[in-house]
């Protein structure tokens, strides 16, 4: 497996490209903005783009989807509970004074327990609501593609529309049960590990409980 990423847009979101070097197939995870830069990453990989996997439908994670689909006709995967957020993305953007290029509604669904296959790679879908009702993380190959569930030293905020602090607490407990060595690649900020966060993140080690918002 090879993992590349670019940090894009005013929200400094991490758009990831997962590649199976054995077969030359790749998938984009959360192309959030700057589709031209994301497209360069895909082309420079030399791999064939097969899908777009969306952890959740906040505007900063889906803003480049339309532009990418104009270059590559590939399926888009999203949990059905986030379809409302997908449809409201232009309004989300307008609230921040931003424009938005709306993509067609995703045709494929992420479901808890499903396995996404990319060549020889496999990622298990874990539904982890709280930051958004359909938020999912993708776990496999020793990593988590974590969206806005867990950050280095922090967690995703729950004070946005459709956020749910109680669901977030359950989702954090679920991700905390993964192996310590699992590397977390979050939607914002640097990578970390489950072990590091279990030891030092106040929302995972019991020092703090979810009560609305965090740093992102």
**DSSP string for 139-158:** EETTEEEEETSEETTEE--S
The answer to the question of residue 83 being in a domain is yes
pLDDT at 135: 98
The answer to the question of residue 207 being in a domain is no
Give the residues of the chain that fall short of pLDDT 70.
Answer: 211-216
Digit-coded pLDDT (tens) for 95-147: 999 999 999 999 999 999 999 999 999 999 999 999 999 999 999 999 999 99
pLDDT at 210: 79
DSSP string, 62-75: HTTHHHHHHH----
The answer to the question of residue 208 being in a domain is no
The answer to the question of residue 163 being in a domain is yes
Range of the domain at 106: 2-200
pLDDT at 46: 97
The answer to the question of residue 62 being in a domain is yes
Residues 6+ apart with CB under 8 A from 43: none
- Domain count for the chain: 1
User: What predicted TM-score, i.e. pTM, was given to this entire model?
Assistant: 0.95
Q: Quick one: residue 189, left, alpha or beta (phi over 0 = left, psi -120 to 50 = alpha)?
A: left
Using alpha carbons only, how large is the chain's radius of gyration in Å? 16
The answer to the question of residue 206 being in a domain is no
pLDDT at 208: 75
Residue 158 is part of a domain; what is its CATH number? 3.60.15.10
The answer to the question of residue 56 being in a domain is yes
Structure tokens at 134: 């359909």
The answer to the question of residue 213 being in a domain is no
Q: Which residues of 117-133 are buried (b: 16+ CB within 10 A; e: fewer)?
A: ebbebebebbbbbbbbb
pLDDT at 205: 85
What SS3 class is residue 85? helix
């Amino acid at each position: 497996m090879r993992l590349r990423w670019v940090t894009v847009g005013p929200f400094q979101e991490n758009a990831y490209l997962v590649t199976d070097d054995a077969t030359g197939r790749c998938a984009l995870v959360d192309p959030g903005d700057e589709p031209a830069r994301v497209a360069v990453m895909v082309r420079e990989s030399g791999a064939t783009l097969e899908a777009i996997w969306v952890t959740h439908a906040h505007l900063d994670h889906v803003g480049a989807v339309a532009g990418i689909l104009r270059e590559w006709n590939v399926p888009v995967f999203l949990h059905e509970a986030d379809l409302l957020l997908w449809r409201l993305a232009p309004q989300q953007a307008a609230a921040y004074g931003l424009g938005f290029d709306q993509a067609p509604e995703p045709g494929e669904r992420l479901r808890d327990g499903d396995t996404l296959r990319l060549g020889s790679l496999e990622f298990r879908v874990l539904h982890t609501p709280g930051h958004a009702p359909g938020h999912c993380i993708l776990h496999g190959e020793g990593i988590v593609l974590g969206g806005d569930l867990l950050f280095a030293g922090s967690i995703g905020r729950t004070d946005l529309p459709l956020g749910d602090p109680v669901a977030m607490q359950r989702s954090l407990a679920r991700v905390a049960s993964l192996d310590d060595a699992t590397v977390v690649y979050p939607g914002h900020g640097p990578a970390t590990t489950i072990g590091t966060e279990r030891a030092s993140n106040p929302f995972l080690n019991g020092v703090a409980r979810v009560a609305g918002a965090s740093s992102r």
